Amino acid sequence: MVSRRVKDLQYAIRDIAVVAEEVEKTGKTIYHLNIGDPVIYDFKTPNYISKALAEATFAGQNYYVNSLGVPALREEVCKYERNKNEINITPDDILITSGVTEGIFFLLAGLLENGEEILVPGPTYPVYLNYAQFFDGKPVEYKLMEENDWEPNVEDIRSKITPKTKALLISSPNNPTGTLYSSKNIKDIIDLAGEFDIPILSDEIYDQIVFEKQYTCPATLSKDVPIIGLNGFSKAHLATGWRMGYLYYSDPLDKLTELKKGIENMARARLCANSIAQFAAIEALKNPGPHTEEMVTKLRDRRDYSYKRLRQIEGLSCVNADGAFYLFPKIDIENFSKWKDDKEFVIDLLRATGVCGVYGSGFGTYGKNHMRLTFLPDLEILEEVYNLIENFIK
């Protein structure tokens, strides 16, 4: 006997990996462009951060720590966010989590029940869709406009707000499209949330991985609308497997007090996030190295090459990414009689070539007829990948 919550869970990014494992057993080389993990390529966790992790465990810091996070780390996260985004928060506004994923879990558990709704960008990171449904809520997708570089349609957001709407998600840079919301659109969304008294969740895990455009933190533009930021160390600090993230509450009018208390209770019930990773994270914030900047430089070249190649392949079209490390090309399914949908196309591509992307419909309704590809591999691997895709479509 299985509960509905577990039975209905789907996660396309990892589900496609199961198919890849089957294909790999046949001896075919697999090109893993499905997982957004820079560390499996030529982006390595900086030695001084790894050394801090080792020193923490040899120093005996292997015990349960404060459920809300090691106080010294919460202090450093607070300084980091204040310096970076000039937002007025204190260490009491910080909760250390086991990656951003646990933060999403906590927030949607605290916000949703009985069909209550959260507005999420479409397309969106699938965990928001899954966890909303897991907690008997309803994810409602607002449109990101592909014809306008995947910027959000603010009027579409307005049309989808109901008395059941409990929160509104801003995901910038967005996963899977890589789009960076403009400051104007962010301000318009904040004003809309204020009009309807709705808090904003701001997924900021890729805020340090941006290219030509300037990143705008929603909390810097909000005077009275509560903003809950989600961020962590996986991407910018190249520590994906450490599962180290955090929430911050920017709540000038103290509207989130009850939600914050409930989430803290949940955090205590799960004891604590990884202790030695927290002590190492303190070092990462106190002594930021050049690794993030170096990663962005490499990624810009790989993005440019990938975008160029995708635009040259007949049957695909693509909007360039402003940040993160994904491109989300559109597949001209209507003119491909061989494949009925994006999932069939992606699985057939994987079986035929070993190129493992993620089918766009796994990112919600607006992801249909697309696929997500990372541009994390080096240029030599990317050249092989795009040659394979081009020949496959031909």
Nearest to 375 by CA among 185, 86, 178, 199: 178
Residue 10 has pLDDT above 80, yes or no: no
> DSSP assignment, residue 370?
B
Name the average pLDDT for the chain.
94
For the stretch 95-136, pLDDT in tens is 999 999 999 999 999 999 999 999 999 999 999 999 999 999
Given a contact cutoff of 8 angstroms between Cβ atoms, the answer to whether 307 and 327 are in contact is: yes
Mean per-residue pLDDT, 215-221: 96
How confident is the model at residue 189, as a pLDDT?
A: 98
- Structure confidence by residue, pLDDT tens digits, 153-197: 999 999 999 999 999 999 999 999 999 999 999 999 999 999 999
Residue 9 pLDDT: 67
pLDDT of residue 275: 96
pLDDT the model gives residue 11: 63
94's enclosing H/E stretch is strand 94-97
Residue 327 tokens read as 């491109």
pLDDT in tens, 232-279: 999 999 999 999 999 999 999 999 999 999 999 999 999 999 999 999
Per-residue model confidence as pLDDT tens digits over 22-74: 999 999 999 999 999 999 999 999 999 999 999 999 999 999 999 999 999 99
- Give the model's confidence band at 5: pLDDT under 50 very low, under 70 low, under 90 confident, else very high: confident
142 bridge partner residues: 121
Q: Could you tell me which residues come within 8 angstroms of residue 75 by beta carbon, excluding any fewer than 6 positions away?
A: 91
* Coil, helix or strand at residue 247: strand
Q: What is the DSSP string of 299-367?
A: HHHHHHHHHHHHHHSTTEE-PPPSBTTEE-PEE-GGG-TT-SSHHHHHHHHHHHH-EE-EEGGGG-GGG
Peptide bond between residue 123 and the one before it cis (omega within 30 degrees of 0): yes
* Residue of 139, 103, 75, 149 whose CA lies nearest to 264: 103
Distance separating alpha carbons of residues 173 and 323, to the nearest angstrom: 6
CA atoms of 34 and 15, how far apart (whole Å):
10
**pLDDT level of residue 17 (50, 70, 90 thresholds):** confident
Q: Is the confidence at residue 1, as pLDDT, over 70?
A: yes
* Domains defined for the chain, CATH in brackets: 4-44+291-393 (3.90.1150.10), 47-286 (3.40.640.10)
Q: How far apart are CA 93 and CA 74, in angstroms?
A: 9
Question: What per-residue confidence (pLDDT) applies to 15?
Answer: 81
The mean pLDDT of 362-381, rounded to a whole number, is 97
Check: CB of residue 235 under 8 Å from CB of residue 209.
Answer: yes
Closest CA to 214 of 79, 100, 85: 85
Report d(CA 29, CA 48) in Å as an integer. Answer: 33
> pLDDT band for position 333 (50/70/90)?
confident
Closest by Cα among 328, 392, 338, 389 to 360: 328
Nearest to 10 by CA among 314, 359, 382, 315: 359
